[in-house]
Chains A and B, each alone.
Chain A
Amino acid sequence: MLTRRDRIFLSACTLAVAGVLAAPHLCAQRPAPAAVASPAGLVLRTAASPATPEILLEPDARAWQGVPAQRVALNRTPPLYDTDPPAELEIRYVDVRLARASEKLLLHLTWKDPTQNAEGIAALPSTQPETRDRKEHTSATERFFDAAAVMFPERAAQNGVWPSLQMGDAAGPVLIYYWNAARGAMRMQAEGRGTTRRTGETFPARALYRAGAWQVTMELPDLPAGLPLSLAVWNGAQQDRDGRKYFSVWLRLE
């Protein structure tokens, strides 16, 4: 049963998609002088890069200049809970670059975020707490951090059906490469909302905040063409976490 809220949201998404397809130029901060990002459509192009993954891991590496940026529209999840205040659509798109190098897929994301929510969290010390005079302190309890992620199915689609955008489903488990401005990169798995869990592994990722924008790079495995990818961005200033975020529709990897 579609409530009024559902209807509004569906319309918003339709508009968003339509808007993306018909997007006018929107200037974005660029990592390096390059062509204006063009709308991605539903396909994400990749470029072969002569640089190494190590070099490409640096968000402002010159090697990214040769990789065209694709603008992906972001949708805002609607307030999911009675207690959620609605949030403005402040981050409307993310610019994506994909480069294949040395059997890796390097992902470069850029998006505008006026506030950097990335305070350092004390790392857990290596010494035994009992003999340590000081235990590490929580510096704040109410803040959330900027983050970004890319999600894709763990295995090829069955019957051409892609998994639910809601963190996959039982038939279509997903992997999520998640970067958090305070906690770093972590690899996650899920098969539906509420089942997301860290695998315990990290992966190479870097981030750079400059002039009101984030640039984040991730080193992904060599993902096959045709694989659907979805992107997500969290804005800490808007109390984003969990399903309270910005997300894209499924985009097919070229």
Chain B
Amino acid sequence: MSKHQYAMVMDLNKCLGCQTCTIACKKLWSDRDGTQHMYWNNVETRPGIGYPRQWDRIGGGWKDGQLQPSPLPTLDDYGAPWEYDYDQRLYEGKKKPVMPTPDPVSGPNWDEDVGALNGDENFYFYLLRICNHCTNPACLAACPRQAIYKRDEDGIVLLDQERCQGYRYCIAACPYKKIYFNEITGKSEKCIFCYPRLEKGEVNACAAQCPGRLRFVGLLDDPGSAVHRLVHVYKVALPLFPEKGTQPNVFYVPPFNPPRRTNYGQSILEDPRLPLEYLIYLFGAEVRDVIVRLEAELNRAQNGTQSEMLQLLIGRDAETRYQIPEPLVRIKMSIG
């Protein structure tokens, strides 16, 4: 166990699906050679194929203390990043429309807003994913070079870009498929929880730049932090696929969809548009209690009684949402 553990809570009832977090992360960290297909933060429509495709069904994680096998996703599973020849149409008079190459067959957001049908009624929501900086990381255990480590001072899991040899056991081991391979450099990379920003007292880019203001960041072990209160006191935030055994430190307030036609006024648990089974698939059986609790709080608020828990989830300002301590370790850097 690290001394402290950074955690993030994402309220899925505030997500707009705008992908500003995705772009914030991408433009900062993965806009380099060899990283164009990587979205360390991604937002996928659920139910859906996910990014990379079918990541939730192909393997990885722990079972009975054993690492589970998994194939490695291919570039098409991530989506080959399209390029465009603008010059020929705009400046060279060649008249062929500007087209994406290669021909699009898959992508990180391919089935945006599709979801599924419950009878003839559509349902979907947005699931945002970053590396979970797990307490029991499968990636760390899988690396034969021990090139993945968990920072003792804050629990951030990092992949040493010097010692990594691109073996990619970590990619297979991660049940969330949140490590990506940079074939140009021959190394694997992943979300770094924006440690360079946290070290300077700035919250993660995906959180800082989210216009939905749905992310809460702080130390899980700090009783005064919003993340601690949401996860351990109000108990409304759950990890994704807890049965994979990695003990993620990213938590979700589970989503509601509006009631089905003619059900306005009924409890969301009676014949819901968004089937509870699907949420149980993602978050485990505990999600039912969370939904019950959330619905009760929402009813109270909408009937005129303020809800303390919902007042916290409103997250009026940055101070409410982020509690970043002073840098936990003084790093003396010698940059060559």
Q: Is A210 an interface residue when CB atoms closer than 8 A count as contact? A: no
Interface magnitude class on chain B: 35 or more
Decide yes or no: A83 and B36 within 8 Å by CB, A194-B144, A194-B146 being known contacts.
no
Partner of B180 from the list A135, A141, A243 (CB cut-off 8 Å) is A141
Complex Cα distance A122/B33, Å? 9
Decide yes or no: A122 and B72 within 8 Å by CB, A141-B37, A194-B145, A242-B167 being known contacts.
no
* Number of chain A residues close to chain B: CB under 8 A: 29
Measured CB to CB, the nearest residue on chain A to B181 is A141
Q: Is B183 an interface residue when CB atoms closer than 8 A count as contact? A: yes
Measured CB to CB, the nearest residue on chain B to A119 is B183
The count of A-to-B residue pairs whose CB atoms sit within 8 angstroms is: 100
Please, what's the 1-or-0 string for A102-129, where 1 marks a CB less than 8 Å from any CB in chain B? Answer: 0000000000000000000110110001
Partner of B33 from the list A85, A124, A197 (CB cut-off 8 Å) is A124
Contacts of B173 in A (CB 8 A): 83
Decide yes or no: A141 and B145 within 8 Å by CB, A83-B169, A122-B184, A242-B167 being known contacts.
no
Do A136 and B69 touch (CB < 8 A)? no
Complex Cα distance A141/B71, Å? 11
Do B33 and A135 touch (CB < 8 A)? yes
| Interface members, chain A 41-59 (any B CB < 8 Å) | none
The stretch among B74-82, B253-261, B323-331 that forms the contact with chain A is B74-82
Decide yes or no: A193 and B69 within 8 Å by CB, A135-B31, A138-B182 being known contacts.
no
Q: Is the interface of B mostly helix, strand, loop or mixed?
A: loop
Please, what's the 1-or-0 string for A62-74, where 1 marks a CB less than 8 Å from any CB in chain B? Answer: 0000000000000
| Interface members, chain B 130-147 (any A CB < 8 Å) | 142, 144-146
Do A141 and B183 touch (CB < 8 A)? yes
Q: Is B53 an interface residue when CB atoms closer than 8 A count as contact? A: no
Please, what's the 1-or-0 string for A196-216, where 1 marks a CB less than 8 Å from any CB in chain B? Answer: 110000000000000000000
Q: Which of A80, A121, A141 has the most CB of B within 10 A?
A: A141
Contacts of A80 in B (CB 8 A): 144
| Interface members, chain A 123-181 (any B CB < 8 Å) | 124-125, 129, 134-142
A172 to chain B, nearest CB (A): 19
Complex Cα distance A135/B29, Å? 13
Q: Is A82 an interface residue when CB atoms closer than 8 A count as contact? A: yes
Partner of A85 from the list B32, B69, B183 (CB cut-off 8 Å) is B69
Decide yes or no: A193 and B37 within 8 Å by CB, A129-B32, A142-B71, A241-B166 being known contacts.
no
Give the interface of A toward B (CB within 8 A): 80-85, 121-122, 124-125, 129, 134-142, 183, 193-197, 241-243
Beyond contacts A82-B69, A84-B69: 17 other A-B pairs, Cβ-Cβ < 8 A, are A83-B172, A83-B173, A121-B183, A121-B186, A125-B33, A129-B31, A129-B32, A129-B33, A135-B34, A136-B36, A137-B34, A141-B73, A141-B75, A142-B74, A195-B145, A241-B165, A241-B168
